[in-house]
Amino acid sequence: VDPDEVNALAQLMTWKTAVADIPYGGAKGGIGCNPRDLSISELERLTRVFTQKIHDLIGIQRDVPAPDMGTNAQTMAWILDEYSKFHGHSPAVVTGKPIDLGGSLGREAATGLGVVYATEALFAEHGKTIADHTFVIQGFGNVGTWAAKSVHERGGKVIAVSDVTGAIRNPNGIDIPALLQHKQENENLKEFPGADTMDPDELLVHECDVLMPCALGGVINKENAGHVKAKYIIEAANHPTDPEADEILSKKGVVILPDIYANAGGVTVSYFEWVQNIQGFMWDEEKVNHELKKYMTKSFRDIKSMCKAHNCDLRMGAFTLGVNRVARATLWRGWEA
């Protein structure tokens, strides 16, 4: 992370929470380090000192951190514990916590599952289902694994997958449950018996119906956008497509489901977790997933009506929806100056 990226993501977060129609603003924060290079105790000390520095900037009604790249439920548990030393036990101050500390069922799967609900909403417009398509998934971390699992369960064919350890493909479809087990045991995708290795750079331009970038930003750029063969791009990562690539892909007729909608499942279930903590009443997983699907489906309908009203693509429709909602709230508060 660097200040520019954090600023950009905080802005995206503002529009994302407005598109999802949840009562949050937008913020981001991070620590410039590579968690893979640090031991658990180093990560814990770093997280606790970070929390000591920001404890008066975050709060239940102020700023509620949630996990992102390089962080997990353990990180959130440390932040909660450190924050509680200053302010008393406050489970609602962070989301993405372990279940034992007031985390929500379904939170870990939320972003990946939300991506699949968003994809289902898009396909329903065209009278299609996930089972009718082939998928390529770039990034096999939290979001990528849950997205792959959900696609596989719905009969979709995942034909290629990559992460930092490499890339693999099988034109007949990869056995995702077997791959997940292989990754858990070996901590990499290589030597998976059910697929061939491939050049990770070729993954984004691999023949498929649906491309899901689930890792870093800026991976689809003007250099490779012209070679993308997918009909749909579902932006599970934050800003994976840069503006020049966006233009090239639009001219090719590629349908892009924008990040501020497609990956809003995570922040939506973070909102559910916050609600449960404030109420002191926990929901079962079925309710969490039912509510998530409801929110994702409604947001898609709202975006589509914006697209029809302004005759624009899905990204412009989503941004118009988000900015309009923030603008209306701003006017109601009397801030038009």
User: Which string of b and e fits 39-58 if b means at least 16 CB within 10 Å?
Assistant: eeeebbebbbebbeeebeeb
Are 12 and 6 in contact by the 8 Å Cβ rule? The answer is no
Q: Identify whether 251 is a catalytic site residue.
A: no
Are 159 and 190 in contact by the 8 Å Cβ rule? The answer is no
Q: Is 169 helix (H, G, I), strand (E, B) or coil?
A: strand
Report which of 154, 176, 141 is spatially closest to residue 70, judged by C-alpha positions. Answer: 141
CB-count exposure of residue 255 (10 Å: 0-12, 13-18, 19+) = middle
Tell me the CA distances in angstroms from 182 to 36, 212, 239, 323, one per residue in order: 20, 21, 30, 43
Hey, which residues are catalytic here? 28
